[in-house]
Structure 1
Amino acid sequence: MCVPCPRSMEDGTVLEKLEGELQEATQNQQTLKQNFLELTELKHLLKKTQDFFETETNLPDDFFNEDTSGLLELRSTPAAVAAKLGFTAGVIKRERMVPFERLLWRACRGNIYLRYTEMDTALEDPITKEQMKKNVFIIFYQGEQLNQKIKKICDGFRATVYTCPESAAERREMADGVNARIEDLNAVITQTESHRLRLLREAAVNVWTWGIKVKKIKAIYHILNCCNIDVTQQCVIAEIWFPMADSGRIKRALQQGMERSGSTISPILTAVQSKMAPPTFNRTNKFTAGFQNIVDAYGVGSYREMNPAPYTIITFPFLFAVMFGDCGHGAVMLGFALWMVTNEKTLLAQKSNNEIWNTFFGGRYLILLMGIFSIYTGFIYNDCFSKSFNIFGSSWHTRPMFRNNTWNPHVLEENQVLQLDPAVPGVYSGNPYPFGIDPIWNIASNKLTFLNSYKMKMSVVMGITQMVFGVTLSLFNHIYFKKTINIVLQFIPEMIFILCLFGYLVFMVIFKWCHFDVHVSQKAPSILIHFINMFLFNYNDPTNGPLYPHQEEVQSFLVIFALIAVPWMLLFKPFILRANHRKAQRMLQTPAISENPAGDIEVEIIDSNHAKKAGQEDHSGGHGGHDDHDEEFNFGDTFVHQAIHTIEYCLGCISNTASYLRLWALSLAHAQLSEVLWTMVMNIGLKNSGWGGLIGVFIIFAIFAVLTVAILLVMEGLSAFLHALRLHWVEFQNKFYVGTGYKFSPFCFKSIIDGTAED
């Protein structure tokens, strides 16, 4: 978005003229509507008063005689000639009528005569536009004292009092005049409303543009107020962060701004050192933005800290697909993502306010990769809507058995459970299925037992591999920030601990897969029992033989080495940090060394391509690093923090490994739900034959499709997504990612206008 010229807002006279005309039109309209309201009330009052006098047939025509004081003289009898009887007529809101009548009765001690009636139509308030229901009242009294009390009470209840003639002829003449004035007011009000609408339409054409200009110029002046004034009062000094990769663009923009503004002072861009921790800027595009948002939701990384987002692009959809592996469901998800990607320009132009839709659309490329990986793992599991593909032909067959008359067609038809023994020649070809799981397992009765073992061990292998990769990434943080003490006293013992115990567990799983075939599989020992006995140093279990020769020596060495790594992490680092601090304090106390104060900061730069070492914090995951030797060193706090880190890491390796078993659990749950849905719904329609079965298939398939999308795609997909999110945040990122930085928020008109700019 372009920057508005300050002169573009100098047409304030146009705005002031338009504002004045609009205010005048609005004020005239309110005045006219107030007059219309009063005339309407007077019209109803004259009508209701006339009805009252007509109903009182026992009163003679000369009952009232009005004098100059507004009082009426009673002429009925000679004794009443000296008496004066007056009346007051007006309009009051209906909800105030009851307390109004009660107060009149008490204040006047019953020496009045009150009559009131409801108005037929509601009236509109000229200011609030609210509908008001009112009553017309008339009060008869005698004496000036009562007259003054009635006026005060009417003023207190905001009742409108009107002058009403006492003779019928005068009331009719006054009513005719009121009706004529109402008609004239209607015409004037219509013209005033038309003029006001024209003014509003004229302003509506430019109001959006004016709003954009105001927001832009307000943002510019806000930034200018953050700048410092030079001592010469001729220029300003801005302290900013910006990526080094954009330095050329920024210099060109400053030069262009100088030329357009007609300034004679060239802009000066100077890099200075700062002890402030710079913000973190990760350049993204529409593909990587969704993955970076996942990482930023956990925490924004510190400046130059290892960013997990590039690795998340692959690992996140893959772990999701391990739990969601199904070719059919993955294809549906892929189709939905491709529709959003191919129509993204049209969908972006619509600017929907639906938060759920915006979440799905913002992660369209993430959903695309999740669909692709789900299809891949679906082929690995050989699972498509709970059915298997027989692409390469099964490696199990029974043809030689027919020759020996062991299994004949009669046996195959009568028996629903037959066992295929892989150790019998001819039953199993000896070659595994070329890709994925053999389709014969889809009809095997022990399918669940086989998949349980396979997926559980697969989850452990993938989980430990990702955790080791996370610990390895922490090494790059230590190297970049030159934390040699963290490499020796933290990274190395962490790798020793996790590799000696859990890396060895992966070795045993893979070794058992490769070493034991179908002929000796019955004698294969239990890996879990071996792993437990490894910690107990128990190698005399007669029910569980060794995996390989010299297993006792290897496992004892690994356990002892892993136990040594625990005090290695716990004890050495706090004492070395204390020794370094004391050494630095002794060096500061020598008079030969002095420090100069740092200068003022003019421009602070984010270097997105080169290293910036000043003012960095300890990103190792530990809490014992102290770069400022002037600060007081607290050995107790440092030791406690290191102990917390050691305990958290050691226990976390165990709990995190167990947490990766959710890959196995959710994969089996998804497969079983898919199989149940096929068996209980779709299989019903396929069993029927004839025209009725054909029609039933359409109905059953519609139900099957709705349940598949609602349960297996939406609910199961959301569940797998959340579990994959947890595995990355807790099990993977905590090995190397601290995430205690703050995000770089550049000055951007688009985010300011959209309201998404951060403070």
Structure 2
Amino acid sequence: MGAMFRSEEVVLCQLFIQPEAAYLSVSELGETGTVQFRDLNVDVNYFQRKFVNEVRRCDEMERKLRYIEAEVKKDGVPIEDNLSELPRAPIPREIIDLEARIEKTENDILELSQNALSLKSNYLELTELRHVLERTQVFFSEEEAHDSITRALIHEESQMPNTTGRERLEFVAGVVNRERMPAFERMLWRISRGNVFLRQAIVEKPLEDPSTGNEMYKTAFVAFFQGEQLKSRIKKVCSGFHASLYPCPSSHSERMDMVKGIRTRLEDLKLVLNQTHDHRQRVLHNVAKELPNWIIMVRKMKAIYHTMNLFNMDVSKKCLIGECWVPMADLNIVQHCLSEGSRLCGNSIPSFLNVIHSDEDPPTFNRTNRFTRGFQNLIDAYGIASYREANPALYTIVTFPFLFGIMFGDAGHGLLMFLFALYMVVWEKKLLAKRTSNEIWNIFFGGRYIILLMGGFSIYTGIIYNDLFSKSMNIFGSKWVLPRGAEYTFDNMKKSHTKLLDPKSTFADEPYILGMDPIWMFAENKIIFFNSYKMKLSIIFGVVHMIFGVCMSAVNIISFKKYSSLFLEFLPQLLFLVVLFAYLAALMFLKWIRYGALNSGIASEACAPSILVSFINMVLFKDPKTYPNCGDGYMFPNQKLVQHVFLFTAAICVPILLFGKPLYVVCTKKGSKGKVYTNGAASQDIELQTSNSISGATANAAVASSPSNAAAPGHADHEHDDSFGELMIHQAIHTIEYVLSTISHTASYLRLWALSLAHSQLSEVLWNKILHAGLGAQKDQYVLAGILFVTFAVWAFFTVAILVLMEGLSAFLHTLRLHWVEFMSKFYEGQGQPFQPFYFKTILDADQETDED
């Protein structure tokens, strides 16, 4: 947890890498994910950078791999996505071989696809021709009969003088899409003015589209007509409706011979298609085994060349220079990666790194594990911490689920939440291996440890509230007794006419062992008691939470050595909060301790003052209202004097907050001229083992060519450049915001009470109106069992859907607001930049999410 207290120290380093070892060195760094590179070629067009051709080669390989992957998925061949071990980026001499294998695979699949397309097209044409010949056979029989009568009439007319011969009927046969048939028929009628005789027959079995594989529904047709001009028109219409025309003999015997030949050819084509499909499947299965590795290797190659384009060449063009942010704890890892890259390429001149000073704020890096990552994400969603700022995530691990538990406050619902999170934690590796694009599930799984703690704390607070699915648990027996001394038991509860728990008449002889006494569940004044109890607890926890937030600002002040802020900001803020609202919380404890129903005199119940009225009278400088036998109305001696001192102290804190820092800056402005503040992390002495193989002249020239060294190390305090007026405006806004927000933030913690009360009442309503109604049904035992089954299912559904999911989400959002606004605003700036290392795993995960989208 030490690394969670504040972000790690990050330094700016220069990498001096030999060109031959650059690729392998960057590859090693990408596997570790320890450096964030800077672009040293900002002014250079991307297409003019040194390794742009290599990036284009990787883009071309990615294009080929996308085509191969599409063909594999089109045939339904499974691709193994969850690799046990990710392949490393290929070494330079293996890149050509990989490129050749990908190109050969693409050509093979392309050739197979073209051959299959050609065979399927031939098969489709023969199938359509067979349907034309078979389906239109009856049409030609009718035409032949009609034609024989026509020939006889023509023969008789030819014997008569002054008669002209009639032309024989011609025809066009083919197939057209079924949905286009009505329009096709109307168009033929219009162009021929009714002189085309169209016969059609539906092809029941759908045909397969060779290009897409989709089913097509066709209709075979034969159009009879006379005249060449009409024939030309009909063919144009067929072309416009994408109808396929086929030659069809006019003789019956010729048609039968053609059908037999077509059937034989179809059988042969079907055999060839099956063999082609089997061969394609074997090829694609072999490709599917290698495809994930190829994709990862190409993406890693592309990321390496992209990173190398950020490097700069030194003046002698003997080494590449890169700049990167590196966590101080990972410097040895980076040096090892550079050495390993030089060793793998067989270069005798090693690469090395040099830590340099910078006037830039380093990026913020919080090292997390699978448990703390979820809590850190909650903080980062508000804003990335400024460099070396105190990290709220460490304290959020405890405070977030605890405040959630106060609002949720049901042991039964908390147990459901805990078991769900426990399932995700126990089967973590198995669920993590099953990648899913379900965003809701990914959110739940990413916050599994948060949900686990929220469920655990809800169980704890549910035990304190003695609330289990809106029912109390009578484990130790009630400590309340009736006036006659009898204990509260089930029989006595039935005999008793009153359920009002009044300490004067029915009282507890000793405290309940843990949490609330179960008798409160039957009390008529339960709501009044729980309202007062939970409301006061909300204020107490809220004040403690805010005081802790103010105290955390002292940690930042001491860390950044702004000691003036310790006296001009921290102490006034803390005093203002303590003398007003911590005093309010102290009055609550004092009232609980001093006043009681069994006490007499000024400590009796009747003399107990209202805390809210007392606080208002304190602010208004009013004396409390007095009652007979209750003294002066104050809770302790000299309370009036203490309250006046506290109010005077709070009033003094406001002008100190308002004028203190601006006046201090103005008074120290002249003495601070010329003073330089350096980055503490960068100013530390760092001892690294560097090689002396590279000459001093080359190293010096490389350092001189780096743009980060154009300015001297360190940066001046820019606050001194601000005018007094600007400082006053900024400080006035800050002071007004703090003073007013202290009041509003304290009231904001009342949501702990409000949501807890709403949750318990809604849970009780579901129990009484649904499940209890089923239990009270006066039916036969078999009918009652069915009723109970239905009512329990309805109750369980609404319990999970409303009380666990919706109420849980509501309590989560309110808890998040209490941390972001009420707690973190006291000390957290959140103006930093995230540390984004060059890490292959992050790049691959982002690419995979893009592919899934």
Same fold (TM over 0.5): yes
CA–CA separation in structure 1 for the residues paired with 2:375 and 2:333: 27
- The question of 1:142 aligning with 2:230 is answered no
Residues 1:346 and 1:127: Cα distance change in structure 2 (over 3 Å): closer
Count of matched residue pairs: 714
CA–CA separation in structure 2 for the residues paired with 1:581 and 1:371: 54
Unaligned runs of 5+ residues in structure 2 are 1-85, 677-702
The 8 Å contact of residues 395 and 432 in structure 1, kept in 2 or not, is answered as yes
Equivalent AA in structure 1 for residue 759 of structure 2: H
Instruction: After TM superposition, give the deviation of residue 113 of structure 1 in Å.
Output: 3.0
- The question of 1:43 aligning with 2:130 is answered yes
Find the counterpart in structure 2 of residue 734 from structure 1: 825
Find the counterpart in structure 2 of residue 416 from structure 1: 497
Residues 1:198 and 1:441: Cα distance change in structure 2 (over 3 Å): closer
Task: Give per-residue Cα distances to partners, 1:419-473, cap 9 Å, x unaligned.
Answer: 776568x9654x5445434445444433332222222111111101111111111
The 8 Å contact of residues 383 and 389 in structure 1, kept in 2 or not, is answered as yes
The 8 Å contact of residues 314 and 705 in structure 2, kept in 1 or not, is answered as no
Residues 1:756 and 1:665: Cα distance change in structure 2 (over 3 Å): farther
Find the counterpart in structure 1 of residue 285 from structure 2: 201
Find the counterpart in structure 1 of residue 345 from structure 2: 261
Find the counterpart in structure 2 of residue 187 from structure 1: 271
CA–CA separation in structure 1 for the residues paired with 2:325 and 2:652: 46
The 8 Å contact of residues 87 and 139 in structure 1, kept in 2 or not, is answered as yes
CA–CA separation in structure 2 for the residues paired with 1:115 and 1:380: 88
The 8 Å contact of residues 97 and 135 in structure 1, kept in 2 or not, is answered as no
Find the counterpart in structure 2 of residue 25 from structure 1: 112
Find the counterpart in structure 2 of residue 660 from structure 1: 749
Map of 1:525-604 to 2, 5 A cutoff? 525-539=609-623, 541-542=625-626, 545-574=633-662
Find the counterpart in structure 1 of residue 143 from structure 2: 56
Instruction: After TM superposition, give the deviation of residue 264 of structure 1 in Å.
Output: 2.3
Residues 1:209 and 1:535: Cα distance change in structure 2 (over 3 Å): same
CA–CA separation in structure 2 for the residues paired with 1:372 and 1:676: 24
Partner-residue secondary structure (3-state), 1:161: strand
Instruction: After TM superposition, give the deviation of residue 758 of structure 1 in Å.
Output: 11
Give the TM-score taking structure 2 as reference length.
0.73
CA–CA separation in structure 1 for the residues paired with 2:441 and 2:380: 21
Instruction: After TM superposition, give the deviation of residue 737 of structure 1 in Å.
Output: 1.5
Task: Give per-residue Cα distances to partners, 1:126-159, cap 9 Å, x unaligned.
Answer: 112233324424353424x555555545444444
The 8 Å contact of residues 463 and 660 in structure 1, kept in 2 or not, is answered as yes
The 8 Å contact of residues 390 and 552 in structure 2, kept in 1 or not, is answered as yes
CA–CA separation in structure 2 for the residues paired with 1:251 and 1:275: 24
Residues 1:59 and 1:692: Cα distance change in structure 2 (over 3 Å): closer
The 8 Å contact of residues 566 and 646 in structure 1, kept in 2 or not, is answered as yes
The 8 Å contact of residues 240 and 603 in structure 1, kept in 2 or not, is answered as no
Which of 97, 101, 117 is 2:200 aligned to?
117
Partner-residue secondary structure (3-state), 1:136: strand
Which of 740, 747, 751 is 1:651 aligned to?
740
CA–CA separation in structure 2 for the residues paired with 1:757 and 1:482: 45
CA–CA separation in structure 2 for the residues paired with 1:98 and 1:687: 67
Task: Give per-residue Cα distances to partners, 1:579-617, cap 9 Å, x unaligned.
Answer: 7779889999xxxxxxxxx9665899xxxxxxxx9679x
Equivalent AA in structure 1 for residue 366 of structure 2: N
CA–CA separation in structure 2 for the residues paired with 1:687 and 1:105: 78
CA–CA separation in structure 1 for the residues paired with 2:393 and 2:118: 65
The 8 Å contact of residues 44 and 119 in structure 1, kept in 2 or not, is answered as no
Partner-residue secondary structure (3-state), 1:549: coil
CA–CA separation in structure 1 for the residues paired with 2:779 and 2:182: 80
Equivalent AA in structure 2 for residue 750 of structure 1: K
Residues 1:655 and 1:85: Cα distance change in structure 2 (over 3 Å): same
Find the counterpart in structure 2 of residue 306 from structure 1: 390
CA–CA separation in structure 1 for the residues paired with 2:170 and 2:796: 85
The 8 Å contact of residues 88 and 138 in structure 1, kept in 2 or not, is answered as yes
Map of 1:630-649 to 2, 5 A cutoff? 633=722, 639-649=728-738
Map of 1:473-512 to 2, 5 A cutoff? 473-512=552-591
CA–CA separation in structure 1 for the residues paired with 2:771 and 2:125: 75
Residues 1:486 and 1:175: Cα distance change in structure 2 (over 3 Å): same
- The question of 1:723 aligning with 2:814 is answered yes
Partner-residue secondary structure (3-state), 2:325: coil
Identical-residue share of aligned pairs (%): 47
Give the TM-score taking structure 1 as reference length.
0.82
CA–CA separation in structure 2 for the residues paired with 1:757 and 1:547: 67
CA–CA separation in structure 2 for the residues paired with 1:38 and 1:367: 63
| RMSD value, Cα | 4.2
CA–CA separation in structure 1 for the residues paired with 2:239 and 2:372: 71
Residues 1:657 and 1:75: Cα distance change in structure 2 (over 3 Å): farther
CA–CA separation in structure 2 for the residues paired with 1:166 and 1:455: 98
Task: Give per-residue Cα distances to partners, 1:298-327, cap 9 Å, x unaligned.
Answer: 222122121101111111111122223344
Find the counterpart in structure 2 of residue 247 from structure 1: 331
The 8 Å contact of residues 557 and 565 in structure 2, kept in 1 or not, is answered as yes
Equivalent AA in structure 1 for residue 594 of structure 2: H
The 8 Å contact of residues 471 and 495 in structure 1, kept in 2 or not, is answered as yes
**Worse-superposed segment, 572-581 or 279-288:** 572-581
CA–CA separation in structure 1 for the residues paired with 2:368 and 2:653: 39
Partner-residue secondary structure (3-state), 2:391: coil
CA–CA separation in structure 1 for the residues paired with 2:256 and 2:774: 85
Residues 1:170 and 1:434: Cα distance change in structure 2 (over 3 Å): closer
CA–CA separation in structure 2 for the residues paired with 1:439 and 1:337: 29
Find the counterpart in structure 2 of residue 69 from structure 1: none
CA–CA separation in structure 1 for the residues paired with 2:792 and 2:194: 86
Partner-residue secondary structure (3-state), 1:43: helix
Residues 1:154 and 1:639: Cα distance change in structure 2 (over 3 Å): farther
Equivalent AA in structure 1 for residue 211 of structure 2: I
CA–CA separation in structure 2 for the residues paired with 1:25 and 1:411: 89
**Worse-superposed segment, 693-702 or 522-531:** 693-702
Find the counterpart in structure 2 of residue 222 from structure 1: 306
Find the counterpart in structure 2 of residue 342 from structure 1: 426
The 8 Å contact of residues 499 and 522 in structure 2, kept in 1 or not, is answered as no
Partner-residue secondary structure (3-state), 1:559: helix
Which of 89, 92, 97 is 1:4 aligned to?
89
**Worse-superposed segment, 697-706 or 278-287:** 697-706
Partner-residue secondary structure (3-state), 2:225: strand
Instruction: After TM superposition, give the deviation of residue 709 of structure 1 in Å.
Output: 4.4
Residues 1:728 and 1:435: Cα distance change in structure 2 (over 3 Å): same
The 8 Å contact of residues 75 and 81 in structure 1, kept in 2 or not, is answered as no
CA–CA separation in structure 2 for the residues paired with 1:95 and 1:448: 71
Equivalent AA in structure 2 for residue 120 of structure 1: V
Find the counterpart in structure 1 of residue 250 from structure 2: 166
Find the counterpart in structure 2 of residue 747 from structure 1: 838
Instruction: After TM superposition, give the deviation of residue 32 of structure 1 in Å.
Output: 1.8
CA–CA separation in structure 2 for the residues paired with 1:161 and 1:180: 21
Task: Give per-residue Cα distances to partners, 1:58-85, cap 9 Å, x unaligned.
Answer: 6445979xxxxxxxx9997485459787
Partner-residue secondary structure (3-state), 1:514: helix
The 8 Å contact of residues 324 and 720 in structure 1, kept in 2 or not, is answered as yes
Instruction: After TM superposition, give the deviation of residue 528 of structure 1 in Å.
Output: 0.9
Task: Give per-residue Cα distances to partners, 1:96-124, cap 9 Å, x unaligned.
Answer: 4555555556666x495342414424432
Equivalent AA in structure 1 for residue 200 of structure 2: T
Partner-residue secondary structure (3-state), 1:241: strand
CA–CA separation in structure 2 for the residues paired with 1:568 and 1:444: 51
CA–CA separation in structure 2 for the residues paired with 1:290 and 1:159: 62
Residues 1:756 and 1:574: Cα distance change in structure 2 (over 3 Å): farther
The 8 Å contact of residues 396 and 440 in structure 1, kept in 2 or not, is answered as yes
Instruction: After TM superposition, give the deviation of residue 196 of structure 1 in Å.
Output: 2.0
